[in-house]
Structure 1
Amino acid sequence: MISEDRLHAAVERVGMTLESVGMSRMSARVFAYVLAEDSDRYTARELAEGLRASPAAISGAVRALVDARLLIRERAPGGGRGDIFRVVDDDVWATILSARIPLIEHLQKAVGEAVEMLDDGSPGRRRLEQTRDFFEFSQQDMAGMPARWAAYQRNRPR
């Protein structure tokens, strides 16, 4: 079993990195904790104790993570009070990426509609066309990524 100090060091390292790319500090720490800690389900109290944080800070962080579909909220077994939080599944990043595909498709469609509102050949239209095309490319690439990831995992020497 990993020591509490080593767990906290790992959580802070991942949390700081997630924070540096735009996640709020507490959400980053909570997400890093559920990735690094050995349990697969957590109450808000367990998260607060594990992160040495206030229940209010945990409440806001898990709300943001659930809204972003990085965590799932479930009712406690047996109708008990409180919720249980967990990552989407064991392959969390492939699941998160797959869940983002509809967002990319939505952006692509909206930008495509905006392209048609602008004059042919205008600088603004060219930039929006490039944006639309980038989203189309990204959507197609992302759609194939889970299969490429699975192949990578199967073929990677351990």
Structure 2
Amino acid sequence: MPKGSEGSEGSAEGTRRDDEVVSRFVEQFAAQLVEAGMARMPARIFAALLASDSGALTSAELGKQLQVSPAAVSGAVRYLTQQHMVAREREPGSRRDLFRVHSNQWYEALANRDGVLKRWESALRDGVSSLGADTPAGRRMAETLAFFEFVEHELVAMLDRWRVHRETLFGK
């Protein structure tokens, strides 16, 4: 079986995996991600990678496991790489791409929201100026701006605390 392939070969501990149970988990977790706003195919790809022991699968392995076309895999992994949730690597000794979930994917995804928040804050500042700070709409924009500035500040502090907490739980 190729590197990254999970199948019923099992995990590093030598336990055999039940493909049906894994598939059920992947679909259930993907459904939760979809409910939270992620598109269906990226959610399924992400859940499949997360559920694989290696954390990495090729496009062919993803397509086979999820019973989807190469085009569906390609579009989904493009989205996931843009969101910093998956990295594209070259499979050693091969020309095939390997898609790997980051070991700290949630941190990466949240940390990369900083640029989005800054763009929103800039647009909101323009909105306050354009609409007038003393108008009802301007005050609403100012409150929204204050909220995003608060979230940005808290996010940075929270991610710093997470790094320390993660180290106590899992080491470096």
Task: Name the TM-score, length of structure 1 as normaliser.
Answer: 0.87
Per-residue CA deviation, residues 34-75 of structure 1 (Å, 9 max, x unaligned), is: 111112222100111222222222122112212222211223
Matches within 5 A, 1:102-141: 102-141=115-154
| 2:110 paired with 1:97 | yes
Please state whether the residue corresponding to 1:72 is helix, strand or coil.
Answer: strand
Identity of aligned residues (%): 36
The letter of the residue matching 1:81 is: R
Match of 1:64 among 79, 82, 86: 79
Alignment match of 1:83 (pick from 90, 97, 100): 97
Q: Distance in 2 between matches of 1:12 and 1:36?
A: 11
Provide the rounded CA distance (Å) in 2 between the counterparts of 1:43 and 1:96: 21
Q: CA deviation at 1:154?
A: 5.5
Rounded Cα–Cα distance in structure 1 between residues aligned with 2:156 and 2:92:
35
- The offset of 1:30, in angstroms, is 0.4
Q: Distance in 2 between matches of 1:72 and 1:153?
A: 21
Q: 1:102 to 1:35 in 2, by over 3 A?
A: same
Pick from 49, 52, 56: which aligns with 2:67?
Answer: 52
Stretch moving more, 20-29 or 55-64:
55-64
Whichever structure has more helix as a proportion of its residues is: 1
* Distance in 2 of aligned mates of 1:96 and 1:120: 33
SS at match of 1:69: coil
Instruction: Select 1:25's aligned residue among 32, 40, 56.
Output: 40
**Number of corresponding residues:** 154
Match of 1:150 among 163, 166, 169: 163
Distance 1:125 1:29, change over 3 A: same
Cα distance change on mapping 1:19 and 1:125 into 2, 3 Å:
same
TM-score using structure 2 length? 0.80
What amino acid is aligned across from residue 37 of structure 1 in structure 2?
A: S
Q: RMSD across aligned C-alpha pairs, in angstroms?
A: 1.8
Distance 2:45 2:56 in 1: 12
Structure 1's unaligned 5+ residue stretches are: none
Q: Alignment partner for residue 57 of structure 2, among 42, 49, 67?
A: 42
Mapped partners of 2:139, 2:48: distance in 1: 44
Deviation at 1:155, TM superposition (A): 6.0
